[in-house]
Amino acid sequence: MSTGAVGGRRVRVCVLGPSGRMGQALIEAAVAGDEPDVVIASAVDRAGAGVIGTAVASDVIASDDLAYGLGAAQVYVDFTTPASTAVAARAAVSRRVAAVIGTTGLDADANAAIDALAAVAPVVVAANFSLGVNVVLGLCKRAARALGPAWDPEVVELHHRAKRDAPSGTAIAIAKAIAAGLEVDYDQARCYAREGDVGPRPDGQIGVVAVRGGDVVGEHTAYFFGKHERVEIGHRATSRTIFAAGALRAAAWVAGRPPGRYDMLDVLGLA
């Protein structure tokens, strides 16, 4: 479903990291017309990247000039690294360029830079841009609220061997949704894997486990273990096109919005 371009014109998008997995998927999705209200206007990668100086889309040559890339666009889309995300957000402040950020493993510095940008421009930040995953987040929150603290929640995620951060941002988002449903402090309840003689599972714990291997795009399962039964809520991605399509939809949606920090639930009207 089209979201409507700003002023009847397609939203100009800058893709950061066109040599990366998601950067390539974003460009391919845009070129294929998966989101008709956006057009790739520029692409920026790190200095020395093999893609620099090559055509990545119609009339778009990849560059290492961040200022130029941001200046050519209304919205930039960032699935890079926390350090690069911080640099881009700070560069975008003076230009008030809107952003769609899917970088995971964000640290305090990156979040501070994003918050500074969100004070002057609209920014969509999400751990996962899949429609299905965002439905899962809502279901997990409701399941946790309905089942209550007597059930033991665990989250297991699988990703390809090249993924750098663990647990995945989506797994953390699911665990946080469970914590919200239980009305508990996530940082106090979470447990990232286990090792050694850890003793019986404490009441109120939310376990999160990361598995890495092969070329798995992304799988997440939330388990709720009760007495003599269990509930499983899961999502399996088989192609990065679902994330790229969602990010481009977010780019079309965020252009022209008031400054602030939004998430994918806002984009989809599920907030």
Catalytic residue annotation: 159, 163
List residues bridging with 124 in a β-sheet: 100, 262
Amino acid, res. 4: G
Q: Which long-range contacts (CB under 8 A, 24 or more apart) does 225-228 make?
A: 225/151, 225/152, 225/153, 225/154, 226/147, 226/150, 226/151, 226/152, 227/150
Q: Which long-range contacts (CB under 8 A, 24 or more apart) does 52-59 make?
A: 56/15, 56/18, 56/27, 57/27, 57/30, 57/31, 58/31
Nearest residue to 155 via CA among 229, 221, 105: 221
φ, ψ (nearest 5 deg) of residue 231: -115, 135
